[in-house]
Structure 1
Amino acid sequence: MKKPYLLILLVMLSACSDSGDDQNREIDLVVLEDLIEHTKEFEKRVYSFENGLHIAVGYGIANSIMVEGVDGNIIIDASDSVAEAEEVYSHFRKINSNPISAIIYTHNHGDHTFGAAYYYNLNEEKPMVIAHESTSHYVERIMGILNPIISKRSSRMFGTELPSDEVINVGIGPYLGVSQSPIGYIKPTVTFGDELKINISGIEIELYHAPGETNDQLFVWLPKQKALMPGDNIYRTFPNLYTIRGTPHRDVKSWIRSLDHMRTLKPEYLLPSHTKPLSGSDVMETLTIYRDAIQYVHDQTIRLMNKGYSADEISNLIELPSEVSQSPFVREFYGTIRWSVKSIFNGYLGWFDGNVSNLDPLSSKDYAERLVMLSGSEEDLFLALKQAVESKDMQWALQLSDSLLTLNYKNDSTKELRQEAIQYIGDRATNPNKRNYFLSSANELNDDYQAQPLLPQTSELLSEVSIDMFFDILSVRLNSEKTIGMKKRVCFDFDSGVIKTITLRNGIAEISSKNANCDIQISTSEQVFKEALAGVRNPIMSVASGEIDTGGKRTEFLAFLSNFSD
């Protein structure tokens, strides 16, 4: 039973504001008690079962699973870095030191794929790397055109730039370690569409496409052992039907169908890719509760949508029924019902909520100027911000600071107050995603803040991704203002035989495979070009040395590349 005095326990932390003044951060530990308790879910341990299944929990954000075969072992999900994979395997090989026959990715996320190179390179004979046929596409999507924004938002959500004592946990694991050591992604060598039944080292394995948290998600079924590896379609927290770091829309109905497919198999062992394993009668009961929670949120959202409610209104109305909410598997330590409702609404109807006020609203600047007119002056608006912070009305303070920053009024003082509001909300958030996102955002307002790369580029990593991805990146990085009135075509002849052409016109970069009417002809290797674009090697030196052969048009080619930078 909790001690009564815990109800008034306050931890006083000292934090420095931009101005260098100390400000006290009062953190009610009781508010965070459940989140702190949830950390026990990730205590480092290898759970072993008599049927040759072993699952490593707590060595990183995601679990790794080893299945013992006759003459080789199978790894399901490979951790988020080479270092984590090595630590996990130091325990696995004490159990069984047979070579690795196969690596299975349950989906594309880096915490399941970026440690694969460690296992892949253990022996001269390389293991199969098995995944859904779309997994490579989604890996390259994250590493490609959306990398800057996804990396930034992921870093905030997982708190990768926060001091370690600020990160209680990340909801589905202790921390995200992808930025802390080298990563080693290996492109799948065996892929499938709907299902794959295969014998690996004497183990009968069935793989099924199971869209849910990702579109490429699969689950692993071992019929003899009656063991289910569901990937990220279930873990001990409410699911991330929407993630605040940003991903493609997650089809909730497909997620439910995938869970129902799992239920038809009547598994006796559940080894998820996050949080602890389950066995016995708890497995079917948990799968049922989980899918029911998802369906409840989906169906009630649609019901209220059809009654004309907005996403914001619905998000404040829906709560799980008590018979479902009592399950520890639907506590909101990762996804939340409010965020899920808004994603479901947007997935069906798009961004417009139906309210004509929101179809073509005032710009942020126009709105701020009118807010000033209502309050009397910019100084009055600033005083309202100060009052909001003093009275702990922190969400209102954030929204007022948005308008003041738009107007560039007392930016330094406004940022200090904004930082205090963000910090206050983050300190009290019991959802790790929200907590880490807020505390990271507050940290970014410090004068000495310097962003750290979430995914450091290496030659080994670049060799595993297609050259197509790099041309997609160039297309979306074109600074159109630099190319007004410009028409130019540059053709690339790679050592692999691949031909690519970039045609600049009308403020866009068309990518094609036509090698004709070229203003500049480039000859180089795919790897050199990838490394030059990724900053692993100096592009100017690569051109000067002839590794990138420009046909005598070095200056012209470098000027061409400058159009793809801000």
Structure 2
Amino acid sequence: MERILRVLCVVLIAYIVGTKWQERRSVERIVEYGRANSNNARKLKTHANEFNKPEVLKVTEGIYVAIGYALANSILIEAPEGAIIIDTVESMDAAEKIYEAFRQVTKSPIKAIVYTHNHQDHVNGAEAFLKDVDGNSSVHIWSHRSLIDIFRLTNYVTGPIIYKRAMRQFGALIERENTPNSGIGFSLNLGQKQFRSGFVPPNRFLDGAEADVTIAGLKLKLVHIPGETDDQIAVYWPEKEALFCADDVYKAFPNLYAIRGTPFRSLELWTQSLDRMYALNAQYLVPSHTRPIVGKKEIAELLLTYRDAVQTVHDQTVRWMNRGLHPDDIAHKVSLTKRLSEHDYLQEFYGTVAWSVKGLFAGYLGWFSGYVEELSPLSTEQQAVRLVELAGGEDKILEAASSALAKSDFQWALQLASAAQRANPSSTSARELKVKAIFELAAGQISANGYNYYVTCAYEELGKIDTKIRQDVRSRTIFTVSLETLFQMFRYRFNFEECSQMDRLVEFNFSDVKKVIRFHIREGILDLVNTRLKAKPDVKVTLTDELFRKLLTGDTAALLSSATGGISAEPGLMQFREVMNCFDRD
């Protein structure tokens, strides 16, 4: 009898495990089915032909563009004194391959680089193009004057959350076979283990609206074209009538708002930039994503069409905004004309009209919708608990979520399942329903950004993907930035809950680089400016720059060194540790 019971237990366990495994596999196959059978999926697959194989295209004599190696293109211009590179893609790995491909076109030395804007898929590969150059300072690296400040904001202030959300938007951590593309490029080579950054700061700048410059012996015009970013510039080669338009135009509806999170993108300025480029009457249009366009008539028609779409979104959003509508409702109202919505360059493979509407609303009016019930809302957890109670308990709300799922009401199913999970994070049933709803929503996406975001979130729920900044990437940042920037970053890691009552002036002496940095912890902030409110520091620390950086990475040897005399702290190490414990570790 006992033996029979054991056998039955084993069979039952195997059945349960097998059932759970099959259920999980069926959940994951939902999106595969949707991708294979939806019209949107077929469009996305066809769109990938724009960039799904690495190649170097000859646009005209002296102009070549590398497509399909990375998310963005890299462009080669042959100038009298050497080569000019426009944009350097997002990783050293991809940039090195492009460099070798360009070397098949010309052996001329790289004399200049132009960053069209600050996004990592345009600047991270610079070192690969300089490996045969004797000293980076000999190469002129051009950008708009504001690039460095914006780069610091998105990398060192909001870097952790932008990284997490970018991994979702671009599907950078999804297996290639499980993602259609990244909307304006095949994939973003940023989150993978082999990722290396080679950003080199610019040393030549565009100030003002435009400038006629000579780069590597070639007369060019640099034009400020704010749109996707405020620091964006276009390059115009008058002799060839060739316009390099950065990210203000590509073959997809533009990211007037990016779901990874971005500073406000002015649609008014974007429209004006398109008008400025239209006036140049170019023969060749070479974007930094997707393929070049040739022919004055074709380019003029495209730029006019593109600017009309952007203006439509702007003007109609403002119209409904001024009539007091909620941003979610405006997003359901605003649309393009039939001709614009069917245009090849305005398919919503990347940005969408709805996201753009809400981004514009937030840019003009901020977070508050104007609806009084949203002025002081309950926290998301409080709302979830009350919604579950209103439904009659967890079982009832999950029953409603399951019913919505069966009726293909996927968004409502997601909201109900998410509320149940938020109220009870340990609920396996809530998580499984949530994942099913997410995969179903992914399958219906025409935007690669939307698809990738949904699928990455589903895999995060299943424990298959971690979108936090990898330790090696974090360590590289710690060893790359200046000490001053590191201490600025400390401000955003200050643990208010633990240390709001602390009042200490802290002084760091870095003996090897002869630097002294002070900060004052008081009233729940870290102040790096007003450090003379006390006559002398409460805590004084002496150590080397290298040891400090190693400590921040969690280096075991550094931690041991700090405990055995590598650090001098007054009045003692205990006070130093108390200060350092005021900062989040991950």
Regarding TM over 0.5, the answer is yes
Q: In the TM superposition, what whole-angstrom CA distance separates every residue of 1:287-314 from its partner, at most 9, and x where no partner exists? A: 1111111001101111122222221111
| 8 Å Cα contact 2:388-2:423 kept in structure 1 | no
- Aligned-partner SS, 1:560: helix
Q: In the TM superposition, what whole-angstrom CA distance separates every residue of 1:395-436 from its partner, at most 9, and x where no partner exists? A: 111111122123217611110111111111112212100100
- Aligned-partner SS, 1:56: strand
| Equivalent runs, 1:160-171 vs 2, <5 Å | 160-171=172-183
1:505 aligns with 2:522: yes
Look up the equivalent residue of 1:506 and give its one-letter code: E
1:55 aligns with 2:65: yes
| Range with bigger deviation, 121-130 or 104-113 | 121-130
| 8 Å Cα contact 2:168-2:467 kept in structure 1 | no
Alpha-carbon distance in structure 1 between the residues aligned to 2:501 and 2:468: 37
Residue equivalent to 1:205: 220
Q: In the TM superposition, what whole-angstrom CA distance separates every residue of 1:248-307 from its partner, at most 9, and x where no partner exists? A: 111111111111121222211111110001111211211111111100110111112222
Q: How far apart are residue 238 of structure 1 and its match? A: 0.7
Q: How far apart are residue 191 of structure 1 and its match? A: 2.3
Alpha-carbon distance in structure 2 between the residues aligned to 1:323 and 1:524: 66
1:191 aligns with 2:199: no
2:559 counterpart (508, 526, 540) = 540
1:256 counterpart (271, 288, 308) = 271
Residue equivalent to 2:109: 99
- Aligned-partner SS, 2:333: coil
Q: How far apart are residue 19 of structure 1 and its match? A: 8.7
The change in CA–CA distance for 1:40 and 1:48 in structure 2 (over 3 A counts) is same
1:244 counterpart (226, 244, 259) = 259
1:37 aligns with 2:49: no
Q: How far apart are residue 373 of structure 1 and its match? A: 4.4
The change in CA–CA distance for 1:22 and 1:98 in structure 2 (over 3 A counts) is closer
1:559 counterpart (578, 582, 586) = 578
Look up the equivalent residue of 1:557 and give its one-letter code: F
Q: In the TM superposition, what whole-angstrom CA distance separates every residue of 1:6-50 from its partner, at most 9, and x where no partner exists? A: xxxxxxxxx996797542523242420000000000032211133
Residue equivalent to 2:168: 156
1:140 counterpart (148, 152, 156) = 152
The change in CA–CA distance for 1:527 and 1:326 in structure 2 (over 3 A counts) is farther
- Aligned-partner SS, 1:380: helix
Residue equivalent to 2:452: 436
1:519 aligns with 2:535: no
Look up the equivalent residue of 1:272 and give its one-letter code: P
- Aligned-partner SS, 2:142: strand
| 8 Å Cα contact 2:271-2:311 kept in structure 1 | yes
| Range with bigger deviation, 372-381 or 243-252 | 372-381
- Aligned-partner SS, 2:430: helix
Residue equivalent to 1:387: 403
TM-score by length of 2: 0.88
Residue equivalent to 2:5: none
Residue equivalent to 1:323: 339
Q: How far apart are residue 475 of structure 1 and its match? A: 0.8
Look up the equivalent residue of 1:435 and give its one-letter code: Y
The change in CA–CA distance for 1:520 and 1:48 in structure 2 (over 3 A counts) is same
Residue equivalent to 1:86: 96
What CA RMSD, in Å, does the superposition of the two structures yield over aligned residues?
2.6
| 8 Å Cα contact 2:499-2:582 kept in structure 1 | yes
Q: How far apart are residue 358 of structure 1 and its match? A: 1.6
- Aligned-partner SS, 1:38: helix
Alpha-carbon distance in structure 2 between the residues aligned to 1:214 and 1:16: 49
Q: In the TM superposition, what whole-angstrom CA distance separates every residue of 1:430-451 from its partner, at most 9, and x where no partner exists? A: 2100100000000011145544
Alpha-carbon distance in structure 1 between the residues aligned to 2:388 and 2:184: 44
Q: How far apart are residue 92 of structure 1 and its match? A: 0.7
Residue equivalent to 2:14: none
Alpha-carbon distance in structure 2 between the residues aligned to 1:226 and 1:527: 51
| 8 Å Cα contact 1:130-1:189 kept in structure 2 | yes
Alpha-carbon distance in structure 2 between the residues aligned to 1:106 and 1:538: 42
Q: How far apart are residue 175 of structure 1 and its match? A: 0.1
The change in CA–CA distance for 1:527 and 1:303 in structure 2 (over 3 A counts) is farther
| 8 Å Cα contact 2:540-2:571 kept in structure 1 | no
| 8 Å Cα contact 1:368-1:406 kept in structure 2 | yes
Q: Which runs of 5+ in 2 are unaligned?
A: 1-17
Q: Which runs of 5+ in 1 are unaligned?
A: 1-14
Residue equivalent to 1:476: 492
- Aligned-partner SS, 1:367: helix
Look up the equivalent residue of 1:563 and give its one-letter code: C
Residue equivalent to 1:69: 79
Q: Percent identical across equivalent pairs?
A: 35
Look up the equivalent residue of 1:49 and give its one-letter code: V
Q: How far apart are residue 560 of structure 1 and its match? A: 1.5
| 8 Å Cα contact 1:459-1:536 kept in structure 2 | no
Alpha-carbon distance in structure 1 between the residues aligned to 2:313 and 2:223: 25
Q: In the TM superposition, what whole-angstrom CA distance separates every residue of 1:341-380 from its partner, at most 9, and x where no partner exists? A: 1111111111212211221233334433443444333322
2:328 counterpart (312, 317, 330) = 312
| 8 Å Cα contact 2:508-2:516 kept in structure 1 | yes
| 8 Å Cα contact 1:64-1:78 kept in structure 2 | yes
1:268 counterpart (276, 283, 289) = 283
Q: How far apart are residue 547 of structure 1 and its match? A: 6.2
The change in CA–CA distance for 1:335 and 1:228 in structure 2 (over 3 A counts) is same
Whose helix fraction is larger, Structure 1's or Structure 2's?
A: 2
Q: How far apart are residue 497 of structure 1 and its match? A: 5.6
| Range with bigger deviation, 439-448 or 498-507 | 498-507
| Range with bigger deviation, 299-308 or 530-539 | 530-539
Residue equivalent to 1:412: 428
Q: How far apart are residue 459 of structure 1 and its match? A: 7.3
Q: How far apart are residue 538 of structure 1 and its match? A: 6.1
Residue equivalent to 1:398: 414
Look up the equivalent residue of 1:411 and give its one-letter code: S
- Aligned-partner SS, 1:144: helix
Alpha-carbon distance in structure 2 between the residues aligned to 1:198 and 1:209: 13
| 8 Å Cα contact 1:184-1:460 kept in structure 2 | no
The change in CA–CA distance for 1:192 and 1:460 in structure 2 (over 3 A counts) is farther
| 8 Å Cα contact 1:45-1:58 kept in structure 2 | yes
The change in CA–CA distance for 1:356 and 1:143 in structure 2 (over 3 A counts) is same
Alpha-carbon distance in structure 2 between the residues aligned to 1:541 and 1:513: 33
Alpha-carbon distance in structure 2 between the residues aligned to 1:257 and 1:352: 28
- Which contiguous aligned blocks of 4+ residues in structure 1 show a shift greater than 6 angstroms? 15-20
Alpha-carbon distance in structure 2 between the residues aligned to 1:150 and 1:449: 16
| Range with bigger deviation, 484-493 or 65-74 | 484-493
Alpha-carbon distance in structure 1 between the residues aligned to 2:543 and 2:90: 32
The change in CA–CA distance for 1:216 and 1:61 in structure 2 (over 3 A counts) is same
| Range with bigger deviation, 336-345 or 509-518 | 509-518
The change in CA–CA distance for 1:560 and 1:421 in structure 2 (over 3 A counts) is same
- Aligned-partner SS, 2:552: helix
1:112 aligns with 2:126: no
Alpha-carbon distance in structure 1 between the residues aligned to 2:50 and 2:20: 34
